[in-house]
Amino acid sequence: MTIQAHIASLEKKHGALEEELQTILSSPSTDDHKIADLKRRKLRIKDQMQRLKATTRH
């Protein structure tokens, strides 16, 4: 898998997590642990994307 393909895959996962997070936040009964977990996963993916993008610039 090329770096660009890997970044695209991570962007897709990040978007899916964002959609899931928005769905959970719009529901009346929210699970704080699930919300925190989704946010952590999104942040990890975002960090991975930034690292990969930085390597392609050098």
Domain ranges of the chain: 3-57
| CA separation for the pair 28, 42 (Å, rounded) | 22
**Contact in structure between 38 and 20 (CB atoms under 8 Å):** yes
**pLDDT higher than 70, residue 58:** no
| CA separation for the pair 47, 8 (Å, rounded) | 14
Tell me what pLDDT residue 16 has.
97
Tell me what pLDDT residue 41 has.
97
Q: Is 4 helix (H, G, I), strand (E, B) or coil?
A: helix
Cα 7 to the center of its chain, rounded Å: 11
Q: Sign of torsion, CA 11 17 22 23?
A: positive
Tell me what pLDDT residue 56 has.
84
* Structural tokens at position 22: 């928005």
For the segment 18-55, what is each residue's pLDDT rounded down to a tens digit? Answer: 999 999 999 887 788 999 999 999 999 999 999 999 98
